[in-house]
């Protein structure tokens, strides 16, 4: 295929969502960590300081904890009164229960589909742990899943893999989301839709494209995408060992694989470093970042929160998930409880009306402030004038930092 020179374009709406999700991620992992510690005494903040980098925080952990008093209650340590210590609030206990119930719905199927994407149907636990929040896995999935689903998972030598028979897999689990969408489109298609040529960018099996502002009308980009759509689609669950790794067909296979991988994530986004840990098992090239930069209509590459995050563009519409998973809905509630503490500080708990069996209701005098942050703004703004060119001299930013989880 021809090579197209594109500039990196910043999307303010998606950057805001990434920052918001990063805060939710840190809160959920901290809640999970504190819930597993003995509840006899509060936890000193200095013992949590080492978690700043794994949580992806750009501020100290102590500042983050104090910023959200509706989730983390600062109390006096029984032995050292001057030592800042924290415990869970009643709102946190209710949210933890809801997070656990939402995670138990289909998290094992998400992990099974991730393993099906790999060459050996197996992954090191160290490669799966950074994806625990993204896939919605419980903290003890390595021990709980083989017991709860013995016909599906097996753990040995710090690797989790699918069982030899995998009889617990639902029928049709190894069908990509694009293929399922194609089948639904064909089933309810009109005569006009069926008459479109397969190379058309609006054909049912074509990747949904949402280009940054100004790119969709460029003739070179249109010609490039038409050529891309004419290539045969290979399911990421099929064996691709017989395809030339340097061919355009293999590149489209990689785009389909990354599209499916991001589609498995609860928030349709993942950090690049987490993908790097899966690169060999997924059969991705060493310089896989160029796959995101070459197809800005499918992916959005962000530098927000001092890390590189990849977002599936089609997953969001006007600042909201197109298909919201129940776990994402509960995490939204976590965010609003967090924001209540930011707005009202220590009085935030009094502004919350919590019902353990139903949904919590946020009662605030300044509720309008939640809607003034431009969360639904999806404007694209050219940033830094950075050119991203697909050539052999373009190298990835080699970041060897790995996430550490307890």
Give 92-132 pLDDT, tens digit per residue.
Answer: 999 999 999 999 999 999 999 999 999 999 999 999 999 99
289-344 pLDDT, tens digit each = 999 988 988 999 999 998 999 999 999 998 899 999 999 999 999 999 999 988 88
What pLDDT is attached to residue 369? 35
Residue of 2 and 256 predicted with greater confidence = 256
What pLDDT is attached to residue 356? 53
209-238 pLDDT, tens digit each = 888 776 756 778 888 888 888 888 899 999
* pLDDT band of 41, cuts 50, 70, 90: confident
120-172 pLDDT, tens digit each = 999 999 999 999 999 999 999 999 999 999 889 999 999 999 987 766 678 88
Distance (Å, whole) CA 383 – CA 10: 6
Residue 297 and residue 357 in contact, taking contact as beta carbons nearer than 8 Å = no
What pLDDT is attached to residue 376? 36
**pTM of the complete model:** 0.83
| b/e map 340-378, b = 16+ CB within 10 Å | bbebbeeebbebbebeeeeebebebeeeeeeeeeeeeeb
Residue 187: both structure tokens together:
């089933």
386-404 pLDDT, tens digit each = 333 333 343 343 343 333 3
Task: Find the range with the poorest average confidence among 23-37, 92-106, 185-199.
Answer: 185-199
Task: Indicate the average pLDDT of the chain.
Answer: 81
Could you tell me the CA-to-CA distances from 54 to 46, 47, 217 in Å, in that order? 15, 14, 41
Distance (Å, whole) CA 171 – CA 343: 48
* Residues 6+ positions from 143 with CB-CB distance below 8 Å: 155
For the chain, what's the residue count? 406
Distance (Å, whole) CA 331 – CA 99: 7
């Amino acid at each position: 295929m021809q090579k197209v020179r594109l500039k990196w374009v910043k999307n303010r709406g998606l950057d805001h969502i990434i920052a918001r999700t990063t805060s939710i991620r840190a809160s959920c992992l901290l809640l999970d960590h504190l819930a597993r510690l003995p509840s006899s005494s509060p936890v000193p903040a200095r013992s949590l300081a080492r978690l700043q980098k794994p949580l992806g925080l750009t501020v100290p952990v102590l500042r983050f904890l104090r910023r959200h008093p509706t989730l983390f209650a600062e109390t006096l340590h029984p032995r050292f009164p001057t030592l800042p210590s924290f415990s869970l609030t009643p709102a946190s206990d209710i949210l933890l229960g809801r997070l656990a119930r939402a995670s138990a719905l289909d998290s094992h199927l998400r992990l099974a589909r991730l393993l099906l994407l790999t060459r050996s149907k197996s992954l090191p636990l160290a490669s799966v742990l950074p994806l625990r929040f993204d896939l919605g896995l419980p903290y003890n999935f390595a021990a709980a899943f083989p017991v709860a689903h013995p016909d599906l998972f097996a753990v040995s030598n710090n690797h989790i893999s699918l069982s030899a028979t995998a009889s617990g897999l639902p029928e049709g689990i190894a069908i990509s989301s694009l293929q399922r969408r194609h089948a639904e489109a064909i089933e309810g298609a009109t005569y006009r839709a069926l008459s479109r040529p397969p190379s058309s960018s609006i054909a049912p099996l074509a990747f949904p494209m949402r280009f940054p502002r100004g790119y969709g009308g460029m003739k070179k980009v249109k010609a490039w995408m038409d050529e891309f759509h004419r290539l045969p689609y290979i399911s990421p669950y099929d064996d691709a060992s017989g395809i030339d790794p340097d061919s355009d067909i293999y590149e489209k296979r990689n785009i389909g694989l990354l599209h499916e991988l991001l589609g498995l994530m609860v928030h349709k986004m993942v950090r690049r470093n987490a993908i790097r840990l899966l690169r060999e098992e997924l059969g991705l090239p060493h310089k896989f970042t160029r796959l995101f930069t070459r197809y800005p209509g499918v992916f959005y590459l962000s530098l927000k929160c001092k890390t590189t995050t990849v977002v599936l563009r089609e997953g969001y519409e006007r600042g909201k998930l197109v298909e919201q998973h129940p776990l994402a809905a509960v995490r939204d509630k976590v965010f609003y409880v967090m924001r209540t503490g930011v707005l009202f500080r220590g009085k935030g708990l009094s502004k919350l009306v919590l019902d353990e069996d139903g949904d919590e209701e946020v009662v605030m005098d300044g509720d309008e402030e939640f809607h003034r942050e431009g969360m639904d703004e999806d404007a694209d703004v050219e940033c830094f004038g950075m050119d991203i060119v697909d050539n052999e001299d373009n190298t990835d930013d080699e970041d060897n930092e790995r996430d550490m989880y307890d």
